Amino acid sequence: LARRLRRGASPTPAQRRYLHAHRAFWRYALPSNVLNAAIGPLPLLLIGARHGVLAAGLFALTQRVLAAPVSLLAASVQEVFKRESVRQYQNSGNCRPAWRHAARVLLLLGFLPSLLLLLAAPPLFAFAFGAPWRAAGELAQILAPLYFLNFIASPLSYVFFVAGRQKIELAWQLALFAMTLAVFAAPLTLHQSVAAYASGYSLLYLVYLHMSYRYALARDPAGRLHAAR
């Protein structure tokens, strides 16, 4: 019985070949996703520890309001981009047309709401949630450019999987984690911390977008398509 159980638990030769062929996913994509999940609530936890519960509440409301368009509209664009990028990569060795079309759509969808937040977030938050939450609008004003870049970059991140660049994705997540810790550990006021975080994160997103476009242009040297089909 023990021998049978061991044989059942061990991967078959076909399964081992599959794991080897797609090793970038479990070597790099899995830890990258875990790290990304840890980074999400990290600013809120660090703000609460350093600046208190009130500051954490303001930041939490800001995050919730700004993240809504990303989770709804950007996710829909990403579903279309996933299909098109894989198809184009298979047929022509690059997914530049899909990347450029998705980027244009995301720019058009995100520009006006982001500009509105940048110009008038404090009174909008005061009108929607009450005068005590005007301070959350001030944080939203600081974070508006970052969430605009996040709105564009999140759907386009699938290029890293299509092109087999999961290792680069992991390195970027590590840089983001280190930057977040450094910013909120610094002796700054709440607004200074949020501004430094938004600036650092935005610079990383610009690098991220540049890399994703570059990887959308050509197949990897071995000529393999890495995305799950």
Which residue segment(s) compose the domain that 193 sits in?
A: 38-219
In a domain, 24, yes or no: no
Q: pLDDT tens for residues 192-225?
A: 999 999 999 999 999 999 999 999 987 554 444 4
In a domain, 14, yes or no: no
In a domain, 28, yes or no: no
Q: Nearest-CA neighbor of 148 among 188, 176, 189, 107?
A: 107
Contacts of 65 (CB under 8 A, 6+ apart): 125, 136, 140
Q: pLDDT tens for residues 114-128?
A: 999 999 999 999 999
212 versus 227: which is more confidently predicted? 212
Question: What is the Cα–Cα distance from 218 to 88, expressed in whole angstroms?
Answer: 11
In a domain, 172, yes or no: yes
Give the count of domains, the chain: 1
8 versus 102: which is more confidently predicted? 102
In a domain, 53, yes or no: yes
In a domain, 7, yes or no: no
In a domain, 13, yes or no: no
- pTM summary value: 0.83
Distances (CA, A) of 24 to 74, 137, 226: 25, 41, 9
In a domain, 135, yes or no: yes
